[in-house]
Amino acid sequence: MPDIFSLFQDQAEQFFKSGHTNNWAVLVCTSRFWFNYRHVANTLSVYRSVKRLGIPDSHIVLMLADDMACNPRNPKPATVFSHKNMELNVYGDDVEVDYRSYEVTVENFLRVLTGRIPPGTPRSKRLLSDDRSNILIYMTGHGGNGFLKFQDSEEITNVELADAFEQMWQKRRYNELLFIIDTCQGASMYERFYSPNIMALASSQVGEDSLSHQPDLGIGVHLMDRYTFYVLEFLEEIHPASQTNMNDLFQVCPKSLCVSTPGHRTDLFQRDPQNVLITDFFGSVRKVEITAETISLDPNLAAFESKPPKDELAAEPLKYAEQLPVAQIIHQKPKQKDWHPPGGFILGLWALIIMVFFKTYGIKHMKHIF
């Protein structure tokens, strides 16, 4: 039965199609201080989701700049809530914070990403990914156009971040990378990315503020930011076998809810977002499909696979050596200034110059010119 056989073969091909074999997550909250409770809650809620979907603590690098659960101002000690009805304690029972308080610095963050870490560093503080890893990077804090503030003392710029990702790509530290940032003017942070296989999401466009959500009178602060709140709501519906794809994630927080305009960038990504499952990044589950048939994998399969799949991108997946046109992306023309002197100005200037000239030399000297 060749038909059935080819069907199974297709399934098997599908089964092996996703290019990654392991998942990692780097979750960063960069703000200190009690009134930034919401940033810690943001990060912890993403932590909760990825952990629930199967990424183990050993594959999560969690960086929290402050400890809200134990802050003396917290009326409900040892909890961090994400909702004012107090039903979801994102602090949970089992939180493993890898980098905390003053360890959360730009340097440490970049070292984790690029793997340039002192030899004595424990495994829990390393990102031990390889070229088959899908990495989720989530960041939140206070940012501006082109930077994200770390603590109160330093900041990371979008160029630094883009270069770090490029270094990761060159060092074969990821297969695909999903970057999510919830901060003011978040879209400015992914503007400068130029390495392949990166998909990026941000809570707001350049020039926009990301807004907070869930003001809680009992705790006395805002509990979460709007964007992450709705992302969390969305992720709570996801289960390991969900077929929800990235396009659904893009729709998560429309402007009516978010007030800011969430943005995303997919031009560096090689696959169609529609074919990328949420669980490709948020989960770490291997597919299990039970079949009663015996599938003898065709030795020619490799050759078959090397042919470009018809529904996939026409382009060959990029090799490490061939980069995207970096120069083209970096050396973009600067934006034109908004304001131009009116045309009359140039004319007036010339008129003035001529006037001054004639006033100085007089009309009789015309012959010297012509």
Partner 1 sequence: MGQGWEPWGAYRAVMGLWGAYGAGPGAVGCLWGQDRSRGVHIGQGWELWGAYGAGLGTLGCLWGRARSRGVPMGQGREPWSAYGAGLGAVGCLWDRARSRGVHVGQGWEPWGAYRAVMGLRGAYGTGLGTLGCLWGRARSRGVHVGLGWEPWGAYGDGPGAVGRMWGQAGSCGVPWDTGAAWAGGGVGPQGGCGGAEPPLPVGNAPPAPQRPPPPLAAMGLLSDPYRRRALSRLVLRLNTPLCLLSYAAGLGWFLALAFPPVAPRTYMSENAMGSTMVEEQFVYGERALSYAREFAGHKKKAGGLPVAWLEKTMWNLGLEVYKQPFSRTLPFPDETRERYMVKGTNVYGILRAPRAASTESLVLSVPCSEGQHNNQAVGLMLALASYFRGQIYWAKDIIFLVNEHDLLGMEAWLEAYHDVNITEMQSSGMLGRAGAIQAAVSLELSSDVVTSFDVAVEGLNGQLPNLDLVNLFHAFCQKNGLLCTIQGKLQRSDWDTLPAYAHSLQTLLLMVLKQGSGRPQGDHGLFLRYHIEAITVRGINSFRQYKYDMSTVGKTLEGMFRKLNNLLERLHQSYFFYLLPSLSRFVSIGVYMPAFGFLILILVLKALDLWMKLSKCDASSAERLWDGDQAAVHGTAEESRPGLLTLVPPLLICHATGLTLYFLPVLGQHVATQHFPVSESEAVVLTVIAIYVAGLALPHNTHRVLTGSGSDRGWMTLKLLALLYLAMQLGCVALVNFSLGFLLAATMVPVAAAVQPTGPKYLYAVLLVLVTPAVTLLLGIFLYQELIEYPVSVLECWQLFLQAVAEGLLDHYLYGSIVFPFVAIFVYPCWLLLWNVLFWK
Binding site for partner 1 (CB under 8 A): 33-35, 70-75, 77, 215-218, 220-222, 341-342, 345, 349, 352, 356, 359-360
Going from the C-alpha of 106 to that of each of 33, 133, 155, 184, 359, the distances in angstroms are 18, 23, 7, 18, 63
Closest residue by Cα to residue 40 from 225, 271, 211: 225
Q: Which residues contact 82 (CB under 8 A, 6 or more apart)?
A: 41, 44, 45, 88, 89, 90, 214, 223, 224, 229, 232
Tokens representing 226 are 């709007």
Q: How far is the CB of 335 from partner 1 (least distance, A)?
A: 19
Q: How far is the CB of 64 from partner 1 (least distance, A)?
A: 17
Q: How far is the CB of 288 from partner 1 (least distance, A)?
A: 47
Q: Which is nearer to partner 1, 131 or 209 (CB)?
A: 209
Q: How far is the CB of 344 from partner 1 (least distance, A)?
A: 9
List active site positions: 142, 184
Q: How far is the CB of 73 from partner 1 (least distance, A)?
A: 5
Q: What is the DSSP letter of 115?
A: T
Q: Which is nearer to partner 1, 295 or 353 (CB)?
A: 353
The answer to whether residues 61 and 113 touch, using CB atoms and an 8 Å cutoff, is no
Q: Which is nearer to partner 1, 320 or 357 (CB)?
A: 357
Q: Which is nearer to partner 1, 77 or 325 (CB)?
A: 77
What pairs with residue 224 in β-bridges? 213
What pairs with residue 157 in β-bridges? 147
Tokens representing 246 are 């990235």
Q: Which residues contact 33 (CB under 8 A, 6 or more apart)?
A: 66, 152
Q: Which is nearer to partner 1, 126 or 142 (CB)?
A: 142
